[in-house]
Amino acid sequence: MNTLGILGFGNMGEAFGAGLRRAEPELSLIVYDPLPQRNAAAAEICSATPVSSPDELARAADTILLAVKPQEMGRALSVPDFQDGKHRFISIAAGVSLQKLGELTGSGDLCRLMPNLAARQGQALVAAAFPDGIEEGFREDALRVAGAAGRALEIKEELMPAIIGLSGSGIAFVFSFIHALALAGTDEGIRYPDSLDAALQTLRGAAAALEDSGDHPEAMLSRVISPGGTTIRGVRALAEEGFTASVMHAVRESAARAREMEG
């Protein structure tokens, strides 16, 4: 893949464009967005070449990153050149299945990606799903695109709603947890900005320690808890308030909604 077309340059189009420019500086990026200011932003942010219409984008690139909203997908792909069955499509639109993409494009070279908000920092978990029998060269190209926004994880498409609940929506649950930690620190007398900084560093440290050790989270937990100490008192309070069940319920509800949207 020497050239990639990006259809739509909103928040996620920008995140992937910037990530690809960092990861693959030699890759030629062609962009179309209906808003002239977003085309100009694409040229400035990731040295992309803006074009004036979807037709021109279709003629300029065989591989297209679909970074449009799900409700706009049908109209965006109505260009005859996109329906010739010769283009390869990578979609980041939630709720648009591989089957639907195939119906809209006539192509068999398809990929669905599910990033989250951290794609802007190149730190997202980006799930990737393909139809059966996908051509290996396209699979590798699509995973390169996914990896430009963070860490790629190939999954079966039927697990996409679960990934949406765990990672796509799950990042919001992490924000809620960080805010709760910061509020608790403020309740104990620490200024909120300082408390928030402490909560963020605690999260970074916990993630780094867990990754570096390779241990199960419960093994790490056992290293922090002392008999009759401060941490076991707090862990007991979380258990009494149904912390684990609440998190699992939140992921399950988000995944259920994702399935409803695909239905």
| pLDDT tens for each residue of 106-142 | 999 999 999 999 999 999 999 999 999 999 999 999 9
Neighbours of 103 (CB within 10 A): 11
Chain segment 137-163, per-residue pLDDT in tens: 999 999 999 999 999 999 999 999 999
14-59: pLDDT as tens digits: 999 999 999 999 999 999 999 999 999 999 999 999 999 999 999 9
> Are 238 and 206 members of one domain?
yes
Structure tokens at 184: 């608790």
My answer on whether 136 and 57 are in the same domain is yes
| 210-218 average pLDDT score | 95
* Domain end (from 156, 182, 212): 156
Element (H, E) at 50: strand 49-50
Q: Which domain holds residue 184?
A: 168-262
Query: Can you tell me which residue has the tokens 């100009």?
Result: 40
Q: Of 156, 177, 195, which residue sits at a domain end?
A: 156
Q: Is the pTM of this model over 0.85?
A: yes
Whether 192 is covered by a domain: the verdict is yes
Q: Is residue 163 part of a domain?
A: no
Same domain, 17 and 55: yes
- The CATH number of residue 178's host domain is 1.10.3730.10
For residue 42, being part of any structural domain is answered with yes
Same-domain pairing of 128 and 206: no
Q: Is residue 161 part of a domain?
A: no
Evaluate the CA torsion angle 171, 189, 243, 201 in order and state its sign: positive
Average pLDDT over the chain, rounded to whole?
94
Q: Mapping DSSP to helix (H, G, I), strand (E, B) and coil, where does residue 246 land? A: helix
Domain count for the chain, please give it: 2
Q: How is 83-150 classified by DSSP, letter by letter? A: GSS--EEEE--TT--HHHHHHHH--S-EEEEE--GGGGGT-EEEEEE--TT--HHHHHHHHHHHHTTE
